[in-house]
Amino acid sequence: MKAFVVTHYGPDGLQAADVPAPSVGPRDVLVDIRAASINPLDKMVRNGEFKQLLKYKPPFVLGHDLAGVVTEVGSEVRGFAVGDEVYSRPRDLRIGAFAESIAIDAADVAHKPATLSFEEAAAVPLVALAAWQALVDLAEVRPGQKVLVHAGAGGLGSTVIQVAKHLGAHVATTAHTRDAEKVRALGADEVIDFTTTGFVDVLSGYDVVLDSLGPDSLQKSLRVLRPGGLAISVVGPPDPSFAARLGQPLLKPVMALMSRKVRRAARRLGVRYSFFFMKASGAQLATLAGLYDDGTLRPVLDRTFPFDRTLDAMAYVEQGKASGKIVVTR
C-alpha cells in the first residue's frame, strides 16, 4: 500500500513509499483511512526529537490522527463492525495515519461524530484529547477559573478554548490581529493581539496557562499565574514526573536537568510547572464525539491537501502559517 514513511530522522526524512499492508491482531480493527491530519508532533517525531522516549525504528509510517471506515475486526474486538465510521489517535509506537490503511488497537478507536465529515473528524482526535486531558485530567479546571491559552487560532489552541469554555472557565488567548474575531467566536473572553501587546503586561491571577510556543513564552507565562497556579507546556521541556508517567525512572535525572530552569523559576514565583504529553483513549474520544455532535465543540480547519501531497501539507504546517488544522484526504 502507499504510505509516507520516516526513512531516517531529520527534516528530509519523510518520503513516499510502498509498504506491506498491516496485519490485524485479535484486539485490532483495520481501518481504511479516508482522511488524516498534520500535527506539530509529526515534525518532532520525524526529526527524532523524542527518539530517547519513543523507540521508533525507521522506516516507519508517520501520522497521528485519522478518520476512516472499519474493514476488518480482530477476534477479540467487541463494539465495532465492518463498515463502521471511526476516528482515532493511535497509541504511540503504533502510529501510521499517512497511509491507505492502518491496524489500530480497538481501545484507541471511537465511532466518528455523526455530524462531522471524515475531513473534520480527522482534524480533532489529537487536539481534542490533548485539550481534555490537560484541562480535565491534569489541571482539573473548575467553573469560574481563569485559563490562558496561547496561539488560540491554531489547531490545539482553538480546541483548548472551546473545552475551557465548556468547563466554565474565563478564557484569555493570544492571537494575531487577523484572528481576533475568530477566537472570540470560539469563546475567548479576552484576546491579546501579540503583534501589539505583551500578554504579561495585561494579564494576572490566572489559574492555568497552556503553552505551545516554547521557552520564552513559557517563562513569561509563569508571571501571569496566581500563587499555586499551573503552567502546562506541550512542547517541553519534559519534567521528572513525565519520566515516572512513562515508567522510565532512569530518565528522571535527565528530565530534571532539562527542566531545571523553568521549575526553578516556577518555585521562585510560587507556581507550578508540568510537561504534558497526551495519551490515546478511545473512551475519551467517545465522550468528545458527543460534544462535537451536540455543537459544544467544533473542528477548526485551515485547508486540505490530497494524500499524494502529504509532504506539501507537512511543509505548510512547518511554515507556521496554519490557522486551524491541515488535513490530507484520500
Domain ranges of the chain: 2-124+299-329, 126-275
Q: Does the structural domain 2-124+299-329 have CATH classification 3.90.180.10? A: yes
Give me the pLDDT at residue 77, please: 97
- What's the whole-number average pLDDT of the chain? 95
Which of the four pLDDT bands, split at 50, 70 and 90, describes residue 258? confident
Give me the pLDDT at residue 238, please: 86
| Omega of the bond leading into 26 within 30 degrees of 0 (cis) | no
The string of pLDDT tens digits covering residues 214-225 is 999 999 999 999
For the CA atoms of 142, 144, 145, 150, the dihedral, rounded to the nearest 10 degrees, stands at: 110
The string of pLDDT tens digits covering residues 11-69 is 999 999 999 999 999 999 999 999 999 999 999 999 998 887 788 999 999 999 999 99
* C-beta pairs of 174-182 under 8 Å, 24+ apart in sequence: 174/148, 174/149, 174/150, 174/199, 175/151, 179/152, 179/153, 179/323, 182/153, 182/158, 182/323
What's the alpha-carbon Rg for the chain, to the nearest Å?
19
Instruction: Judge whether residue 172 has pLDDT over 90.
Output: yes
Write down the pTM of the prediction: 0.95
Q: Does the structural domain 126-275 have CATH classification 3.40.50.2300? A: no
